[in-house]
Structure 1
Amino acid sequence: MKRNYYLSVSIFLLLIVGVALSGCSSKEAASATGDQVILVGTQNDYPPFAFADDNNELTGYDVEVVKAIDEQLDGYTFEFVAVPWDSMFLALESNKIQAIADQVAKTPERQEKYLFTDESYFASQTVIAVKTGREDIQTIEDLEGKKVGALAGDSYTLLLEEYNKKAAQPIDLKYSESGNPSEILQDVQNGRLDAYVNDPIMVNAVLEKNDLGVEIVGQPLVNDDMGIVMKKGEQGEKLKALIDPILKELKQDGTLAELSKKWTGGEYIPE
């Protein structure tokens, strides 16, 4: 337990240092252009939505959506900060970042604590992934008593945690220390985990990249809309009011559909 605590603290301290250094360069850029810099948190290991490319630059669908917003938003410059998922909301609450673009589902619990854009920029599904050839798992009920990989605080884990409150036999959630979906899927392949619940596009991207013997089974459990997240308060309200009209325009002019096809192979844009 202590090891996990010190690891989390170390990661967050590194995050603070990284953002502080980024803040220095941001201030210089803001001074030169007169723009206000908004730091946007996202992961660097969640393809095809947000990940580091071969040049260690953040890219992916979510990143390019924010860049498209940035192009149309005068007076502001968006800069990206790679943040581990388990530190993402802590970084937002402490103003180390001012927004999150990381496939965050609009759950009622999150909407009570944070501001979301009214306009959603992606429609996501929730599916079950198991080792190829396994036939005993098809539904969420089949996960009862099974070992299922989980990331603390993500919408897929929250779904399973909520299910456990009424399950005859709780799902045995195994929380990842690394926070890396690729490692969780590798554990599904080698049998250390029975299943993983997440988005099918991300799962398929990881499977293709790593050539894993894992497959998606059954029907989608849930459909979710994703939004950009901000901290509640005057700053967040102002940013939300600026972003929403641009997101609506990007949806109407087909920009979001084009980006979705580019990164996911299909148009997964909410109406």
Structure 2
Amino acid sequence: MTRNQYILSSLVLLGSIGALGGCSSEEAVSATGDQVILVGTQNDYPPFAFADDNNQLTGYDVDVVKAIDEQLDGYTFEFVAVPWDSMFLALESNKIQAIADQVAKTPERQEKYLFTDESYFAAETVIAVASGREDIQTIEDLEGKAVGALAGDSYTLLLEEYNETADEPINLKYSESGNPSEILQDVQNGRVDAYVNDPIMMNEVLEKNDLGVEIVGQSLVNDDMGIVLKNGEDGEELKALLDPIIEQLKQDGTLSELSTKWTGGDYIPE
């Protein structure tokens, strides 16, 4: 069984790992002789992936990968903090070999990237508005409104697809910082009318920052999250190893325990 050798990188940007760009996953070997798999995740998406008080990456997604690593011989998983807007570029250029960052299995992504068949989390999509606001409850109510967005995430893709047939398009305001907490502050301050994202993450940020924002209406959609790999022989090989382990972690209750630990509920898909 592989030795748990985690480099919990803090605030590592894409440029900081540029030196890895010419290395294939076969060329990266740990001190114990294991093949190193660099796993990209964010450092500002609690409780799934974030930097703790010691600038160490932690959270549900990080713990899931650790649990996988404990069961997988010959591989060592090391974490790299990558901004969301650089995540897939890092995967495509082999600066990382996997993504564990609450990535929904959308058809568009599955055409371009390789996902584990086994999902490790089931997430909702909801709307957040300034506390006390009553005119927004559904996605239709967002038409003509300014809504904070992160380019390329599944929540933004949902709104972009809605705009293709909307009577009046939603005015998407793309964040330059890529930080969900800043978008929620914009909701509180009235810079945008709403934000669409995962309720668990948003509630965590709202409580931590004491923001006057609340979640309204019913869930817009439910998504299953998978580990993302690069298309190709290496990705297929790793996927074949990961899927049985994720299934095992579902069956033995490990994922349910981690979900309850980090989110307060059991959100593990069957």
| TM-score, length-scaled by structure 2 | 0.92
Tell me which amino acid in the other structure corresponds to 2:252.
D
Distance 1:160 1:29, change over 3 A: closer
Return the structure number with greater helix share: 1
The share of aligned pairs that are identical, in percent, is 86
Distance 1:23 1:31, change over 3 A: farther
Q: Name the SS for the 1:167 alignment partner.
A: coil
2:186 aligned partner: 187
Task: Decide whether the 8 Å contact of 2:28 with 2:35 is kept in 1.
Answer: no
Distance 1:210 1:243, change over 3 A: same
Structure 2 CA distance for aligned equivalents of residues 38 and 18 of structure 1: 14
Q: Name the SS for the 1:32 alignment partner.
A: coil
Structure 1 CA distance for aligned equivalents of residues 66 and 140 of structure 2: 40
Structure 2 CA distance for aligned equivalents of residues 246 and 188 of structure 1: 40
Per-residue deviation at 1:260?
0.1
1:1-271 mapped onto 2 (5 Å cutoff) = 14-18=13-17, 20=19, 30-271=29-270
Task: Decide whether the 8 Å contact of 1:121 with 1:227 is kept in 2.
Answer: yes
Task: Decide whether the 8 Å contact of 2:186 with 2:192 is kept in 1.
Answer: yes
Task: Decide whether the 8 Å contact of 2:256 with 2:267 is kept in 1.
Answer: yes
Task: Decide whether the 8 Å contact of 2:21 with 2:94 is kept in 1.
Answer: no
Task: Decide whether the 8 Å contact of 1:16 with 1:96 is kept in 2.
Answer: no
Per-residue deviation at 1:15?
1.6
Distance 1:262 1:19, change over 3 A: farther
1:168-213 CA distances to partner (integer Å, 9 max, x unpaired)?
0000000000000000000000100100000000000000100000
Tell me which amino acid in the other structure corresponds to 1:42.
T
Structure 2 CA distance for aligned equivalents of residues 113 and 14 of structure 1: 23
Task: Decide whether the 8 Å contact of 1:250 with 1:256 is kept in 2.
Answer: yes
Structure 1 runs of 4+ aligned residues shifted over 6 Å read 21-24, 26-29
Tell me which amino acid in the other structure corresponds to 2:55.
N
Count of residues in correspondence between the two structures: 258
1:210-255 CA distances to partner (integer Å, 9 max, x unpaired)?
0000000000000000000001000000010011000000000000
Q: Name the SS for the 2:158 alignment partner.
A: helix
Task: Decide whether the 8 Å contact of 2:36 with 2:76 is kept in 1.
Answer: yes
